[in-house]
A and B are shown apart, each in its own frame.
Chain A
Amino acid sequence: APVSSIIYADDKVQNYLMRFGYLPQTDFETGNLRTEDQLRDAIKNLQKFGGIRVTGEIDEATKKLMKARRCGLPDQLDARFARTRHKR
């Protein structure tokens, strides 16, 4: 089985997820470490919003979406509290 790509989610991916609201932007400052679940959820949200197959993996379609031209505003405007939501 292919090695889980989540483990290879590098800074660029996480910065993209934070910048566009799929991970709490506050993590820029708090430096909170993410769990595997959080990363996977964030990628699924991105795939769902982007209208591509939801795999939770950083697959080719997801890479292509992340390179595509787009608006600079976040897609999820209340992700700031996403962590809290996870807690609940």
Chain B
Amino acid sequence: FTIHGQQWPYRNLTWSLRSEQPSGLDTGGVRLELSKALDLWARNSKLTFQEINSDRADILIYFHRGYHGDGYPFDGKGQILAHAFFPGKDRGGDAHFDEEEIWTLEDESNEEGTSLFAVAAHEFGHSLGLAHSSVQGALMYPWYQGLSPNYELPEDDRHGIQQMYGAPEGKLWGNIPGGPLPPEQPPPPPPTTTTTTTTTTYRPWRTRPTRPNHYPDDGRPRQPGRYPQKPDYRPHKPHRHHTTWPATTTTTTTTTMRPTPRFRHRWTPPQRDDVPDKCDTSYDAISIIRREVFVFKGRYLWRIGDQGIYEGYPAEISRLFNLPSSINHVDAVYERPDKKIVFFIGREYYVFDANNLEPGYPKPLTYLGLPAALQKIDGAMVWGHNGKTYFFSGSMYWRFDETVNYVELDYPRDMSMFAGVGNDIDAVFQWKNGKTYFFKGKGFWEFDDLRMRVAHEKQKLSAPVWMGC
């Protein structure tokens, strides 16, 4: 037997069937089969299982078909029958059955059918922490073997479950009649993990000392020292022809200081209270556009060039890209191989040719082949490793074929492929050093593309590295 990951920290587990009349079967009959399958493990350990009608149960049981949102799509009748998740929060412990199988309940014999009891007993082994076993005849053997009535748990599986949860109280060891009582099981040693720490120091960003902000906003970086030094604040002189000497003088003093604009645009930094603090914020999106790093947060963006953050940022996104004024954040941004810039906002996406929105946009995400149920895209990038485009959302990711403008078959897949990153990322992008960076909260991971896992388990804080704080 093989134990995988953690075990349940308590012994009295709850379960709940969350599908009505799965595969057209009688719900009561299905619940009976599931209960019998759980009882198989209860009889051979200290575990107890209580059925409740709640989606907060430890083990939730669903019947799905095809793609059902967890990155492990079913394949219709035959081959893949079901899968389950190892103990843990959220989906941990849940078991999913392929609704398109011909499931048989107790005593139904059907050559073509698949015994729900047999498969459920196997999947619940995963829900409790057991992985597959190569022992033929073991319940945790991965290939379907059917089960005989009055089935008892084979020895291989019994050893596994009792190593994790202890033998049942008062039960003779290993069901050997008259045998010795089982010794008190010491708790299994915690899984040992070896951690290697590599420290990478980054050249901190230099921030230019703040200067008056009056330089043209044409996007080109200015060399230090070439800024105009002083604006021209001289008050206006009344025009000669208009001077009059009133007999009575009333003096009202109003002082207007109006700069004389030297450049076509005069840009003032946003003074609103929703301006994000660059040293203390997560990011909505981050992307390389025209070889510069653009970081998006709320209605604002920063622009980072070789010399660090450009002066005068954050600036409102709408200053550079004419997005509808109602937009107050973006979810993900990336620059396509054809240099068009794509913004993902909610269930729609916008395509820009430089600063200009292409006609016909926004369009729904379904145009790209993404499921209608998808609420938003967390991150998008063109992955230098293979030149493919990837979209990330929740616990799944898609690979996108730019040539046909549609996601590829065989996707989505589970985020665990990008080991260490976890679900629900904030942003992802590939920097000019060719490395991939995933962002979540106020930190980020550098990703090792070859080993497909984060280079170091612990996140680094984003602000010192990317914002020069």
Q: A25 contacts the other chain (Cβ, under 8 Å)? A: yes
Interface residue? B80 (CB, 8 A): yes
Alpha-carbon distance A75/B450, docked complex (angstroms) = 23
Within 8 A of B (CB), among A3-29: 20, 25-26, 28-29
Closest partner residue, chain B, to A48 (CB atom): B134
B114 lies within 8 A of A69 (CB): yes
Answer whether residue B419 sits at the interface, using C-beta atoms and an 8 A cutoff. Answer: yes
Q: What is the size, in residues, of chain B's interface with A at 8 Å between Cβ atoms?
A: 36
Complex CA distance for A30 and B388, rounded to whole angstroms: 10
The residue of chain A having its C-beta at the shortest distance from the C-beta of B134 within the complex is A49
Q: Are B419 and A72 touching (Cβ within 8 A)?
A: no
**A70-B79, A72-B72, A84-B451 known; A28-B142 Cβ under 8 A:** no
A61 at the interface (CB under 8 A from B): no
Instruction: Identify which of A31, A70, A73, A74 contacts B386 (C-beta below 8 A).
Output: A31
A14-58 contact mask (Cβ, 8 Å, vs B): 1 or 0:
000000100001101111000000000000000011110000000
Across the interface, do B74 and A80 meet the contact criterion of CB distance under 8 Å?
Answer: no
Which of A28, A67, A70, A72 is the one whose CB lies under 8 Å from B74? A72
B417 CB-CB contact with A under 8 Å: yes
* Residue B440 interfacial (CB < 8 Å): no
Task: List chain A residues, Cβ under 8 A from B114.
Answer: 69
Q: Which B273-325 residues have a C-beta within 8 angstroms of A?
A: none
Contact A51 B142 (CB under 8 A): no
Checking B2, B122, B123, B417 against A29 with a beta-carbon cut-off of 8 angstroms, the contacting residue is B417
Per the CB 8 Å criterion, the residue count for chain A at the interface is 25
**With A28-B417, A77-B4 in contact, do A69 and B79 touch (Cβ < 8 Å)?**
yes
Total residue contacts A-B, CB cutoff 8 A: 82
Q: What A residues does B385 contact at CB under 8 A?
A: 29-30
Given known contacts A29-B417, A77-B131, A70 and B81 CB-to-CB distance under 8 angstroms: yes
In angstroms, Cα B79 to Cα A20, docked, is 12
The CA-CA distance from A77 to B191 in the complex, in Å, is 15
CB atoms of B80 and A70 under 8 A apart: yes
> Is A1 an interface residue, CB under 8 A from the partner?
no
Chain B residue, CB-CB nearest to A25: B417
Residue B354 CB within 8 A of the other chain: no
Q: Are A72 and B82 in contact (CB under 8 A)?
A: yes
- Chain B residues in the interface with A (C-beta under 8 A): 2, 4, 72, 74, 78-84, 114, 119, 122-123, 126, 131-132, 134, 136, 142-144, 383, 385-386, 399, 410, 413, 417, 419, 449-453
List 5 additional A-B contacts (Cβ < 8 Å) besides A28-B417, A30-B386. Answer: A49-B142, A71-B119, A72-B81, A72-B83, A74-B132
Interface residues of A (CB under 8 A from B): 20, 25-26, 28-31, 48-51, 65, 67-75, 77, 80-81, 84
The 6 closest A-B pairs by CB, nearest first: A72-B83, A26-B452, A69-B144, A72-B80, A51-B136, A49-B134
Q: List, sorted by A's number, 21 A–B pairs whose CB atoms are closer than 8 Å.
A: A25-B417, A28-B410, A28-B417, A29-B386, A30-B449, A30-B450, A30-B452, A31-B386, A50-B134, A67-B78, A69-B144, A70-B81, A71-B80, A71-B81, A71-B119, A71-B123, A72-B80, A72-B81, A72-B83, A73-B142, A74-B132
